Structure 1
Amino acid sequence: MMRRRTLLATAAAAAAAQIASPLRAQSWPNRPIKLIVPFAPGGGTDFTARLVAEKLTARLGQTMLVENKPGAGGNLGAEVAIKSPPDGYTYLSISGSYAVNSILHKPSFDSLEDIAAIGQYTDEPFLLVAHPALPARTLAELVALCKREPGKLSYGSSGMGGLTHLTTEFFLDAAGIKIAHVPYRGTGPALTDLLAGNVQLLGGGSTTFLPFVKSGKLRALATSSSKRLAAAPDIPSYAEQGYPTLDFNLWHGMIGPKGIPDEIVNRMNRELDSVLKSPDVSNRLADDGVIAVGGPPDTFMATLRSEVERWQTFIKRTGIKLE
């Protein structure tokens, strides 16, 4: 009899949970939603998150609050978000560095298995830019210069293990050349030294570099985009210069903790997709050479898995470490 009562109680609890989940989803959202940005204010991830949050606030009827939690290469804010209750009220805005951090920084969570993918915001091409005094206007000329005068050039980055570091090393590895790496504490200081001629090369997002390229203060040698940028059609791609595997872009997107009800994930994804496809958002991003992506959660999850695999293979083969 006792065993029978226990079984009945368990079944009743399970049934109640199944009923409660749709009810919670139907009433969502009924309070403000938090979007954590794991970097300091002012960067590309912060800008994109605030643009998306502003538009989602209007569509959801609840305020989406952006909260910056920088530290540990982005893992501090990521840990807070991913370990939050999966009730649909806490999300994380991520960039391409999320895939790298899962390998180099070894966070306390599983970057693929402990999350719910919501959707991809954008795809921003990388540019490899040079100081105008550099006597190379193409990748072929750069490679020839490095082989002719080894040890002469240096490139900057936003720091060891960051995307500006790893994407440049990806190119150097493919080209079979060596250029001295000078890490900085962020893209800003690296850009300042590039403009001053203290380093000769720097990689980064198109939104950061295009204004300097258009003004003639920097020269763009290549873009990672598969097609030339509408905002800068004179910049050749890596692929058309003989490097088809250098198709990495600086993407941004939204994830949440694993366990968010499917109804909430799908609603958030639909609203996000509508925001990104709206002309005011897509055109605003396109002016900087950035593509508004959108699409279903499964597609974004596939992108995450592919990116982790790509960088895991590269880092393991080259032995790059945070030293």
Structure 2
Amino acid sequence: MPTLRVASMLFTTIGLAASTLAGASMALAQQYPGKPITIVANLAPGSTGDMIAREVGAVLSTRLAQPVLIENKAGAGGMLGAQDVVKAAPDGYRLLLTSSGLTAEQSLRSSDFDIREKLAPITDAVSISLGLMVNSKMPAKTVQEFIALAKERDGSLRFGSAGVGSAIHLAAESFLLAAGIKMVHVPYQGGTAVVTGLLQDEIQAIVFDPTAAAGMLQAGQLRMVALGGNSRSPNYPDTPSFSEGGLPGFDPGAWYGFFAPKGTPAEIIQTLQNNIAEALKDPAVFKKFSEKGFRIVGSSSDKFAVRINEDVEHWKRVIEDAKVSVK
């Protein structure tokens, strides 16, 4: 009997503790937000991700009646900003805006960081399509002409990236695998440098975000041979999709999404997801993002989690098949 009584008391104590924690979590969620929120953008100032964080943050501030501050913490392939948020209190006041480049980074490097275990997904805000870009002097004007030229040059053509393991590096490796060709990889320090390298003909191609190269494309300095997506983009109606170009199913792209520290109450995650999704529908934000060719998503945290897992597994396959190494 004493044993049963002790066990009963133990279960009662555990139950009370669980109820107390649940109550505290609910109370925190009901009071949220009660102070300014900081969005850590693990991307450089002036980048696409930085712009997304600031545009969404401004509307979010109005909706939540609290200041939303943007803090740039680029470096180490996005890990610097990501680790900052991982270590933050799980209370919804320090968030991360990052890109799918972080899933590529973790897939390449052996570390204890796994975005699926360290962070809580809120929503993937937007998706962008990546395009195969060449110097305007490049004779190849279609995907098939480019593939033929690469084969003719017997692997001597060079493609650039923003660094080994960067999203555009692995996107280019995906293209080479899909096209059945070989090229020489030339890593640069960041996106601006790789575009400059293409303009100066140090490299012959990049798989890149057209938003970040819009000025050079419009000026005719660069030419986009093909663009990801199931159909032609209204922003680039003269550029065929990769499927049109003879690579059915090849659709290079990237996403930008919001995360919170692991352990953030579900109610707070839902509040943030709802408000970010509404911020993306704001007329000014929607217009600006659409004009840049972004596909606005704003999905649930569960759907975003599925997409992240698919990304990680995809990059692992690309890294293995292309024999990519940081060594």
Using the aligned pairs only, state the percent identity. Answer: 35
CA contact (8 A) 2:160 2:185 kept: yes
Q: What code does the residue aligned with 1:250 have?
A: A
Q: State the alpha-carbon separation in 1 of the partners of residues 111 and 38 from structure 2.
A: 22
Number of aligned residue pairs: give it: 323
* Residue number among 15, 18, 21 corresponding to 2:19 in the alignment: 15
Q: CA separation of 1:304/1:84 partners in 2, compared to 1, >3 Å: closer, same or farther?
A: same
| 1:34 partnered with 2:47 | no
- 1:49 corresponding residue in structure 2: 53
Q: Which moved more, 1:29-38 or 1:98-107?
A: 98-107
* Residue number among 84, 89, 96 corresponding to 1:80 in the alignment: 84
Q: What code does the residue aligned with 1:118 have?
A: I
Q: State the alpha-carbon separation in 1 of the partners of residues 174 and 326 from structure 2.
A: 16
- 2:280 corresponding residue in structure 1: 276
| 1:287 partnered with 2:291 | yes
**SS of 1:241's equivalent?**
coil
CA contact (8 A) 1:206 1:290 kept: no
| 1:313 partnered with 2:317 | yes
Task: Deviation per CA, 1:114-138: give whole Å up to 9, x if none.
Answer: 3211001111110111111111000
- 1:264 corresponding residue in structure 2: 268
| 1:243 partnered with 2:247 | yes
| 1:127 partnered with 2:131 | yes
Unaligned runs of 5+ in 1: none
**SS of 1:240's equivalent?**
coil
Q: TM-score, normalised by structure 1?
A: 0.95
Q: What code does the residue aligned with 1:66 have?
A: I
CA contact (8 A) 1:154 1:180 kept: yes
* Residue number among 253, 266, 269 corresponding to 2:257 in the alignment: 253
- 1:198 corresponding residue in structure 2: 202
| 1:143 partnered with 2:143 | no
Task: Deviation per CA, 1:99-148: give whole Å up to 9, x if none.
Answer: 11221123433211232110011111101111111110001101111222
- 1:104 corresponding residue in structure 2: 108
Q: State the alpha-carbon separation in 1 of the partners of residues 162 and 250 from structure 2.
A: 19
CA contact (8 A) 2:125 2:299 kept: no
Task: Deviation per CA, 1:287-321: give whole Å up to 9, x if none.
Answer: 11112211211111111111111111121222211
Task: Deviation per CA, 1:22-59: give whole Å up to 9, x if none.
Answer: 11110000011121112221212111111111111111
Q: State the alpha-carbon separation in 2 of the partners of residues 259 and 314 from structure 1.
A: 31
**SS of 1:91's equivalent?**
strand
**SS of 1:220's equivalent?**
strand
Pairing 1:191-230 to 2, within 5 Å after superposition = 191-230=195-234
Q: CA separation of 1:197/1:283 partners in 2, compared to 1, >3 Å: closer, same or farther?
A: same
Q: TM-score, normalised by structure 2?
A: 0.94
Q: State the alpha-carbon separation in 1 of the partners of residues 289 and 124 from structure 2.
A: 14
Q: State the alpha-carbon separation in 1 of the partners of residues 261 and 242 from structure 2.
A: 36
CA contact (8 A) 2:118 2:262 kept: yes
Q: State the alpha-carbon separation in 2 of the partners of residues 268 and 32 from structure 1.
A: 13
CA-atom RMSD, angstroms?
1.7
Q: State the alpha-carbon separation in 2 of the partners of residues 7 and 237 from structure 1.
A: 61
Q: State the alpha-carbon separation in 1 of the partners of residues 78 and 241 from structure 2.
A: 29
Quote the offset at 1:243 in angstroms: 1.5
Q: State the alpha-carbon separation in 2 of the partners of residues 166 and 8 from structure 1.
A: 54
Q: What code does the residue aligned with 1:72 have?
A: A
CA contact (8 A) 1:104 1:321 kept: yes
Q: State the alpha-carbon separation in 1 of the partners of residues 261 and 153 from structure 2.
A: 50
- 2:175 corresponding residue in structure 1: 171
- 1:322 corresponding residue in structure 2: 326
Q: State the alpha-carbon separation in 2 of the partners of residues 303 and 269 from structure 1.
A: 16
